[in-house]
Amino acid sequence: MRVGIPKETAQGETRVAVIPAGVATLIKAGLQVVVEAGAGSAAGFTDAAYTAQGATLASRADVLASSDILLQVRAIPPSNGLHPGQTVIGFADPLGSPQAIRDVAATGAALLSMELMPRITRAQSMDALSSMATIAGYKGVLLAANHLPRMFPMLMTAAGTVSPARVFIVGAGVAGLQAISAARRLGAKVEAYDVRPAVKEQVQSLGARFVELPLEAADSEDKGGYAKAQDESFYRRQREMMLKVVAGSDVVITTALIPGKRAPILITTEMVEAMPPGSVVVDLAAERGGNCELTRPDEIVVHKDVTIIAPSNPPSLVPYHASQMYSKNITTFLMHLLGKDGAKQSSLTLSADDEITRETLLTKDGAVVHPRVVDLLSK
C-alpha cells in the first residue's frame, strides 16, 4: 500500500502530517511513502530529509491520485480527487462541519477523524488533541510574556525588587496544565480554575493555587473526562465570581472548551476593563469562538490598555515540534489500523469491532457512518 503526505493547504497551516522519522516507521512496516515536494518545509523538514528516509517526492496531483492512504493535519476541506478505496486520516472537524463530512462520503473515500480518538490508555500515543493542546499551552504563555510590559519572575536586585507577574489560567485541561507549568518555569505567581473539581490536585501539584468558586456544577464532567456544557445562569455566576481574580491578574490565559460546542464566554469586556493597564489576555479557545468577549481570532486587539491575543492555530506557531508530535500520533494510529497483516493487504480493513476504529471512522463506502455526525446532519 502507498501512503501519501500532501502539503497542507489551509491558510496559516505550517505543520506537516508526517516528519522524516515517521516515514522511516512506515517504510519499515512495508508501506511505500510518497511526499508532496515542499510538504515539510514550513516546519523545518527538507525534501532531502524525506528522501533520505526512503520516501519519493511527487507533485500534489500525483500524491492525491496514487495514494491508498492520505495522512494529513487537516483532512477538511477534502483534497480534490478522492476516490473509493482511499482512506484519509486527519483533523476533520466532524462536529463543527458535518456537511463537509457528507461531501467526503460522496467521494467513496473512508475518512477517520483524529479529534474523535477515544481517551483510553491504549490510544494515548494516538491522541493528537492532547499533543496539540500541550503545544498551545506552552506557546500561549510565551505570547503573553512577550506582550506584557513586565517580567514574569520575582527579582531582587540592587535596583530594587521586581514583583512576579500574576497569571490566571482558566480551564486546567491539557493546555491549561501545560500553561501552568510554563508560567511557573518563568517564575510567575499562578492561579487556575476549572469547572471540573477533579483537577484541583493537578493544579496544586504544579505549584499553582486552585481558585475555589462556590459554584454548584452538577455533572461537570462526562465519562470521557471532558467538561459538560452548563446553562447560561451558571456561566453568568462564574463570570461574577471570577471578576475579582481577573482584576488582580496581569495575564489571563483561557483554554475552556466543551467538545462539539462553541467555547463559553467567560471573560467579558467589563472584566477586561478591570485588569491593570498593560495586562494581557491570551485566548487559546479562539478556534472555537473564544472565551473572551473581545476576542478576534488571529488579531491583536488592544482594549483600554489591555491586549487580547487569540491565535486560532497555536500549534502552527511551533511547527517543528507540533509536526513531530502529530507525526507520532498519526503513524501510531495507522500502524494500529494496519494490524497484524500490515502492509500485505490491498486496502485498509476498517473494522467496527475495534473501539479505536469505530470511534474515529466518519465515512465508509459512500456513507457517513459516525452516529454523532449522522445525528447532526439529520437536524
Closer to ligand NAD by Cβ: residue 65 or 213 = 213
What are the residues binding ligand NAD (CB under 6 A)? 119, 124, 127, 129-130, 133, 170-176, 193-196, 225-227, 238, 255-259, 264, 266
Which of 68, 93, 127, 194 is the catalytic position? 127
Q: At what angle do helices 174-185 and 128-147 cross, to 10 degrees?
A: 40
Closer to ligand NAD by Cβ: residue 22 or 264 = 264
Least distance CB 216 / ligand NAD (angstroms): 13
Closer to ligand NAD by Cβ: residue 87 or 313 = 313
CA dihedral of residues 263, 268, 271, 273 (deg, nearest 10)? 130
Closer to ligand NAD by Cβ: residue 238 or 329 = 238
Closer to ligand NAD by Cβ: residue 86 or 178 = 178
Closest CA to 310 of 291, 346, 288, 283: 283
Least distance CB 4 / ligand NAD (angstroms): 29
- Phi, psi dihedral angles at 309 (to 5 degrees): -115, 135
- Phi, psi dihedral angles at 130 (to 5 degrees): -65, -40
The C-alpha angle with vertex 16 and arms to 349 and 122, in degrees rounded to 5, equals 45
Give the cell for residue 333.
494510529
Least distance CB 171 / ligand NAD (angstroms): 3
Q: How far, in Å, CA of 20 to CA of 24, rounded?
A: 7
Q: How far, in Å, CA of 3 to CA of 147, rounded?
A: 42
**Strand ranges, E, within 19-129:** 32-36, 56-58, 69-74, 87-91, 110-113
Which of 32, 125, 130, 202 is the catalytic position? 130
Which of 41, 59, 99, 124 is the catalytic position? 124
119 is catalytic: yes
127 is catalytic: yes
Least distance CB 70 / ligand NAD (angstroms): 25
Write down the residue that cell numbers 487569540 correspond to: 310
Q: Where do the H-state alpha helices sit in 81-212?
A: 98-107, 128-147, 174-185, 200-205
Q: How far, in Å, CA of 251 to CA of 141, rounded?
A: 9
- Phi, psi dihedral angles at 219 (to 5 degrees): 60, 50
Which of 226, 235, 296, 358 is the catalytic position? 226
226 is catalytic: yes
Name the DSSP letter for residue 47.
Answer: H
- Residue whose C-beta lies closest to ligand NAD: 173
Closer to ligand NAD by Cβ: residue 8 or 127 = 127
Give the cell for residue 319.
511547527
For residue 199, count CB atoms less than 10 angstroms from its CB and return exposed for 0-12, middle for 13-18, buried for 19 or more: buried
DSSP of 212-268, one letter per residue? P-----TT-B-TTSPBPP--HHHHHHHHHHHHHHHHT-SEEEE----TTSPPP--B-
Contact 298, 12 (CB under 8 A): yes
Closer to ligand NAD by Cβ: residue 63 or 265 = 265
Closer to ligand NAD by Cβ: residue 142 or 258 = 258
305 is catalytic: no
Least distance CB 127 / ligand NAD (angstroms): 5
283 is catalytic: no
Least distance CB 332 / ligand NAD (angstroms): 13
Least distance CB 173 / ligand NAD (angstroms): 2
Least distance CB 193 / ligand NAD (angstroms): 6
Which of 119, 150, 184, 237 is the catalytic position? 119
Instruction: State the catalytic residues.
Output: 119, 124, 127, 130, 226
